[in-house]
Every structure is written in C-alpha cells, then in structure tokens.
Chains A and B, each alone.
Chain A
Amino acid sequence: MPGLGASPGVAHSRTRLTDWLIWFAVLALATLAMLALRTHLDKAHVALVYLLVILGASGAGGRLLGLSVVAAAFVMFNLLFLPPYYTLAISNPLDWLVLVTFLVTSVVAAQLLYRARREAQEAQDRAAEVDRLATLGAETLNAPDAHDGLRQIVEVIRSTLGVDECDVFERDAELARPTASARLSRASSALTPVRTGEGSLVGWILQSGSRAEELVDGTVRLSEDGKLRADVRALAIPLLVRGATVGVLRVASAEGLRQPPEWRRLLDALAYYAALGVERVRLTTQAEQAEAERRLEALRSALLTSVSHDLRTPLTTIKGLAHEIEQGGSTDSASVIGMEVDRLNALIGDMLELSRIQAGAVRPMVVVDTADDLVGAALQGASSVLRGRDVVIDAPTDELLSGRFAFTESLRVLVNLLENAAKYSPPGSPIVVRVRRDADWLSLSVLDRGPGVPLAERDRIFEPFYRPTGTPSDVGGTGLGLSIARGLAEAQGGHLWFEPRDGGGSVFVLELPSATIPDDDNDSGDDEGDIH
C-alpha cells in the first residue's frame, strides 16, 4: 500500500490529493467497465467490484477517502445498476436489501481497514520512539564528557519535539545561564534569549517542583495539566531523579507550542533523560572537584613537610646569630642574617606563587610585548647570579620580535631559567639566550653546558620540590622554580619544556604565542609630522 509508510502520525495525516484522484479514477473506470457489460452483470458482481475499490481506497487513503468512495459507489450503484436506471428510485424492494447490505458492509470494511492501519502506524511510531529513547539513553551514558552528553540530549529533545529552543538549567549552577542549550538556527532572532527574570522563575520551579508556562504575551503562569492552551510559547518543567529536582527543562517555540497528548508524553519521557544527563554532569563535577582537592591536599602535605624544614632552618640560623650579636659577637653575623632573610623571602614568595597557580588564581595580563624587553629585563633580574658569566644573546638583530604574553609572568620564567643555567653549569661556560619566531610562536631558549637531565627525570624536573639526583645541598633555591615556571607559562597559553643540547647540556624552551604588528601607520609621515 503506497501511502502507508510515507505519512507518519496517521490520526492527523491528510490524504494526499493524488490518492483521491487515483481512487476516484479507479471508481470511474470500474463503473464505466461495468456499465458497458451491464446486461451481463448481476447485482452481486457490481457490489463485489465496488467493495474491492472501497477496500483499496480505505487502505491507501485513510478513512475520509474510504467513506467518500463508499458514498460515491452507493449513489452510482443505485443510479446505474438498480432499475429503474438513472433515478434514485428502486423498483424491486429486494434491491433495497442488496443496497443496504452493500452500504453496511462497505462502511464496516472501510472502518476496520482504517483502524488496522492506524494501529500498525501507531505501533511503528511507538517503535521509532522507543528507538529514539534507547539511542538517547545510550548517548546519555556513552558520551565521554558529561557536558557533551547533556548537550547532545538537549539537541535530540529539541529536534524530536520540533521546538525552536531547548534549555536545561542545572540546580546549584548559575541560574541565569543554562547549562546546556539547543537552538534552531532560523529561530535565533525570533525568540529573545532567556531573560534574566526567568532565572528566578527557574529557581522557583526548582523549589516548588511545579510546571510553568510562558504565554505568547510574555506572562508566566502555572501549567495546569489537561488544560491545553494554544497561546503557550514556552514550557518549563522540573527534572526529577529519584524524587529530587535536579534541574529545569525549558522548551520554547516562537510560533507557540502545539501540545497534543503524544507530545506531552514524549516530553515527559525525554525530560527523564535530560534529568539523567544533568545528574551525570553534577556527579562528574563533584568527582572532578574531589580529585582536584585530593591533589591539592597531596601538594599541601608535601609543602608542609618541606616548608617546616626549609623555613625553620634559616630561622634557626637567624636566631643563633642574633644571640651571638647580643653577646657582643662579631658583626659579620649581621650579613649572614641578611642572606638568610633573603632565602626565607624567596621561599615564601615561591610558595605563595605555587599555591596561586595550583588554585587557578593566576590571571596573567596578556599584552603585545617585545622579546627585546623580556630578555633585557630577565638579564637584569638575574644579574646577581650572572655576574662574571658570559651571556650570549642569539637573536635576529634586523627585526623586532614580539608576542602576546604576560610580561611579569614570562619574566619570572626566564629569570628562573637563567638562574638555573648559572647554578648548574661550569662558571667558565657561556650561557646562550636564543630568540626565534615562527608563524605562531615566539620561542625563548636558555642553553647551558651543565650536566643536562637524565632521560628518566625529564618530566619530574617540573614537579614541586624535585631536585636532580646528586645535587649538592648548597646549590640553593627552593625546589619550586621549574614547577612555578611551567605553571606560569601554561597559564598564559604558552609552553615550557626541556631538550638535551647537542654536545652536552640543557636547553629550556619557553614558547609564547607570537604577535604580528601592523606597520606603524604614522611611519609614512614626515619627520616633522604633526603630533599635537
């Protein structure tokens, strides 16, 4: 049967015009054929042929077409095949029996066929729905990222329900902004974005667990089940998991929501998946937070162990020396106190910096700046340890290289690399600072002829309190330098890594996003160009 698979939702399917044309043509042809053979035909033959046409029309075109064909066949049977011909009058009373029997049989057959077809269609629809829900369920659980999963669910809900907008708000999240949204692209201008006032509506739904409707005129009211209104623009329903409200689902269409009963049922079923998706997001967030806290705790205990040692050692020295001075001892002790204070100050600074990085509190101010400035400031910042060292700058002289980076953070990284190079390489060997730029990156490398880093320890050197094996204890430093440096490099979108140097030694590369500078548009002007 041709029309069956093509028209979903039998109850509302409109029989296509072609179906009408075809079946009335068939009816006409059958009538003409029988008219030609009328003398050889019995009434029963006519009734059977018509019945066949009626069954075909009902099956293919639906109830309305079926009944229309019944009516037409009934009239033609009467006019053309029951004497007297061409009038509605019937001479033989027994013919009435034939006609009425024909009518009842036809109507019942058309109705039965229609019902069977509708049930088949409904079964098919339901199978498709189950299929969709099963896919949605699989997506909910399968998406590697819980947020992605929720986004997919929201998009499926939007397309399945045929609405313009679908938003999910998560409990405990910022209510003014949905956790996940889907928009029909053409509707972007038709509906205003969720207004801030609705944030409180969402909050209210979370608290009360009721549904709310937004009407076309913008007013909001409680949704009454069973009472359908045509002017509903948006519907917000609570998302429940095991009786607890975990969020709110909002669907909206610019032209208003049509809400037939199946639509409502589908909405409820889909809402449950959205609820599961929200729940999963919430659990994942909790797990991530727990993991972050666990790592922070591990770091904190490592810090505490090291801190109690590294802080107390200089304090002990200072206290001892102060006592010596009090007793009238040599004033040389005073300079040692000064050095110990510097050490303490450096350690406190590093610990604060590391905890800021670990807590994600570093918000580097990224600007366009030059490599010249950065290298110059780093040489100055590390000048005390570089005194007497040969530092070679290997940078293109004909071009001013620039990048997008945070100056003080990058400076800190570079100073740290220079200090390490000075600390770990033999005093007579030069330290090279190499500056290069390609399309995307500005790289600043510090090269030394120190012992390098063994292969196995190349990642560990960036961990807090790591010191290479065999480091003499008087080498100084807090053991936090490289982990801070990497944290600062990454906080501004850059990278920091180690490479072995050809011929022995280390290369530490700080890579920062490069910047392209437009020509100074004033440059074309005259020397005496107007400035004021």
Chain B
Amino acid sequence: MTAPPLTMLVIDDEPQIRRVVRNALLSASFGAAEDPEQPKVRVLEAATGTEGVDLAASELPDLIVLDLGLPDQTGLAVCREIRRWSAAPILVLSARHADTEKAALLDAGADDYMTKPFSTVELLARVRAQLRRARQVSEAKAPAERVVLGSITVDLALRRVQREGEVVHLTPTEWALLRTFLLSPRKTLTHRQLFTAVWGNSEGDAQQYLRVYVGHLRRKIEDDPIRPRFLQTEPGVGYRFEPDAVAEA
C-alpha cells in the first residue's frame, strides 16, 4: 500500500528562499526509516500572507513553512489566523534574532522557528521532527501511564517518581511542571505556556521563580543538572522535553 502524499506549504516573498526550501523538501524522504514506501511530497508556494492563508485553507497542508517578513501582513498574524482552524505544524523562518519574537510566535501557535541563514540539513531535520510529532499526536492522544527517563520512572497515574525503586520527593509545583513536560514531548514550551499550565491564568509571586523550579526539578531527575538530557533549555524562549535522549544515551 502506498503512503498518502505529503503536502507542504511554503509562504515566503523571496523567490530564491522558496526555491531553496522547495528543492530541499522535494529531495528528502519523510517516511519512517524502515518503511520502503516513501510518501510523495507536494510543495505549494505562496508569496504573500493572504495567499498563504487561502492555500492553507483550501489544500490543508501537512506542514507549513512560514517566513516572518511578508509584504502584506505580519507573520505573527498569519500564524495566528492559520492556527485558529488548522493543527498542521508551522515552522517559522525569521531573519531577526530577538528572543521575545520567538516566544511571541510560539505563544501564537507556531511549533518551531529557525533564524536565517539556515542550512537545509537543519531545516529537513526540523521538518522531520515536526511531522513525527504530528503523527504521534494524532495516533496516541492518551499519554503513557509510565514514563522512563534514564534511571527515573514516572508513574503518572500514581503521581510517583522513583529512582531505581526509591521514591523521589517532588513538590506540587515540580510535579505540575514535570507532568506538563511529559504531556508535550519534543515541543518547545514557552515560559508563558508553562506559567499557564502550572498556575493557570492567575498572577502570582511564585511565577517569577519558574526557572528556579525547573532548576530544582532538574536536580531531582537529571543525572547532571548542568548538562540535562531530558529538560532542555531554549534560551530566552522556554524549555523542551526530549524523551529521545534516552535512546541516544
């Protein structure tokens, strides 16, 4: 049986960048490694935000590559508009390096971002990661009951964390953080998203110490908290939970 074709949408006003991205996407393979039948890739291109939103609505692409410097509207607005009705991963390209911009984009629903200039190797790696994540989300909504992180076992149902059979004490805040991370593997969670997940929409003193709570959590579940395997820092943006690190270790 042949895999369904993958549709990808590239929104960028620079024809040269569109060309580079299109060629990279067309030449790559996105199926599972052991699957001999690679899905066909179809790449759509849009030069303006409006055109991009229209194409995203009519063609329902599996993934969107969005440039921020569009002539007609801001990338942030396009991102927000598409996210209102589409769950397709959005990968943002930006020439600016401001972290506040990155965080704002992720808060608006983007899944990943890359700064220009970027290498096509890195672009493809990120596209693959996003496709894999999207597949996992659609296949398995319910998270596993038990998650193993190196020598740590987390039992979500019993709310228990054990290191080699011994119970590790977590404060309620640390537990809420850990749970949030485990529910969104491989996804960058912005500081704001973590605030909301742990404390809701209320404003409080505790929030300013979010990074400290993550520090405490790392000291409890990571072997080396300075070189964390599971809770990775995205400088200026937030944190990302990487269960894959287990396989690589």
Contacts and interface: CB of A to CB of B under 8 A. Distances in A.
Nearest to B97: A349
Interface stretch (B27-35, B57-65, B72-80, B168-176): B168-176
B40 interface: no
B190 to A, nearest CB: 13
B161 to A, nearest CB: 9
B215 interface: yes
Contacts of A527: 159-160, 167, 169-170
Given A367-B211, A368-B211, A400-B216, A529 B226 contact: no
Given A367-B208, A520-B171, A372 B99 contact: no
Interface in B200-231: 206, 208-209, 211-216, 218-219, 225-228
B4 interface: no
Contact of A376 (B209, B213, B227): B227
B235 interface: yes
A523 B173 CA distance: 9
A372 B39 CA distance: 43
A520 B99 CA distance: 28
B227 A522 contact: no
Interface string B156-195: 0001100000010111111110010000000000000000
Contacts of B233: 373, 376-377, 380
B225 A531 contact: no
A143 interface: no
A199 B123 CA distance: 55
A481 B248 CA distance: 34
A525 B172 contact: yes
Nearest to A526: B172
A338 B117 CA distance: 10
B217 to A, nearest CB: 10
Interface residues of B, number: 35
Interface in A492-528: 517-518, 520-523, 525, 527-528
B117 A372 contact: no
Contacts of B208: 367-368
Contacts of A518: 209
A317 interface: no
B175 A531 contact: yes
Nearest to B159: A528
A191 interface: no
A379 interface: yes
Interface string A137-171: 00000000000000000000000000000000000
A402 B216 contact: no
Contact of B212 (A377, A381, A400): A400
Interface string B50-74: 0000000000000000000000000
A474 interface: no
B99 A408 contact: yes
B23 interface: no
Given A400-B216, A408-B236, A520-B213, A372 B225 contact: yes
A226 to B, nearest CB: 58
B226 A375 contact: yes
Given A367-B208, A393-B226, A528-B159, A400 B219 contact: yes
A349 B100 CA distance: 17
B203 to A, nearest CB: 15
A341 B117 contact: yes
Interface in A404-418: 407-408, 411
A369 B211 contact: yes
Contacts of A225: none
B111 to A, nearest CB: 21
A438 interface: no
Given A368-B209, A376-B233, A408-B99, A400 B226 contact: no
B215 A523 contact: no
Given A400-B216, A411-B235, A520-B173, A373 B211 contact: yes
B169 A372 contact: no
A42 interface: no
Contacts of A528: 159
B151 interface: no
Contacts of A520: 171, 173-174, 213, 216
A531 B211 contact: no
Contacts of B227: 376, 379-380
A245 interface: no
Contacts of A530: 172
A372 B213 CA distance: 12
B215 A370 contact: yes
Contacts of B213: 520
Nearest to B102: A408
B105 to A, nearest CB: 15
Question: Which 6 pairs show the lowest CB-CB distances between chains A and B?
Answer: A370-B215, A408-B236, A369-B211, A529-B172, A522-B172, A522-B171
Given A370-B211, A520-B171, 13 more contacts: A367-B211, A368-B211, A369-B211, A372-B215, A373-B214, A373-B215, A376-B227, A393-B226, A407-B235, A407-B236, A520-B174, A523-B171, A525-B171
25 contacts: A338-B119, A341-B117, A345-B117, A365-B100, A367-B208, A368-B208, A369-B211, A370-B212, A372-B215, A376-B225, A376-B226, A376-B227, A376-B228, A380-B227, A381-B235, A400-B212, A407-B236, A408-B99, A517-B212, A520-B174, A520-B216, A527-B159, A527-B167, A529-B172, A531-B179
